[in-house]
Structure 1
Amino acid sequence: MPYSIDALDAATVDLLKRQRFQDAYIRPIAWRGSKMMGVSARANRIWGSHFNPTEKLKGIRLDIAEYRRPDPKTAQCASKAAGLDMICPISKHAAEAKGYAEL
């Protein structure tokens, strides 16, 4: 990211002051890359294809993720509070480590 944590914190405080918020919830989010709309955080490019065009011509190797989201009746899987949002990047990184392009 082109900004330091201190710069982002200062910009947040400045914005809150200008908006006259005294009590607010701030959730900073930084999107890593802008071309690839996937869950992988490794080697993400800016505005790239989801798959390498050369690899697509050869055929893309896929894998099945080790983890599954639980049935909605067994856990609150619609909420990120339980940490279930980490299933996707963990599974994607595991597939990449085995040489697969996707799972």
Structure 2
Amino acid sequence: MSALKHPQILLASDLADGEVLFLGPEGWERDHRRARVAQDKEEAGALEAFGKAEVAANRVVDVYLADVEVGADGVPTPLHYREKMRIKGPSVRLDLGKQAQGAA
């Protein structure tokens, strides 16, 4: 097993509605807290291979791995700005997306 500098999760965009998705233990999730975390290069490679197959099946687009930090509670938190913004939802209309659902 080859270690990663940081654990990683797999992100994609839903082909039907453009919503950001995270690969979870049983398929695509809309909540990053349920994302499957790769701890080594082999696990990351398996996640990436699954993502490429999903792209080929026209389920998702823009598949990539992102570095995360895993908290004591087991929740992965993205380390980079792009993914931090993607988990928050659209930034132009606060009445839409994840931020609107969280306010309800």
TM-score range, shorter chain: under 0.3
Pick 1 or 2: higher relative contact order, CA cutoff 8 A, min separation 6: 2
Give the structure with higher Rg (CA): 1
Using structure 1 for the length normalisation, give the TM-score. 0.24
Structure whose residues are more often strand by fraction: 2
Using structure 2 for the length normalisation, give the TM-score. 0.24
Structure whose residues are more often helix by fraction: 1
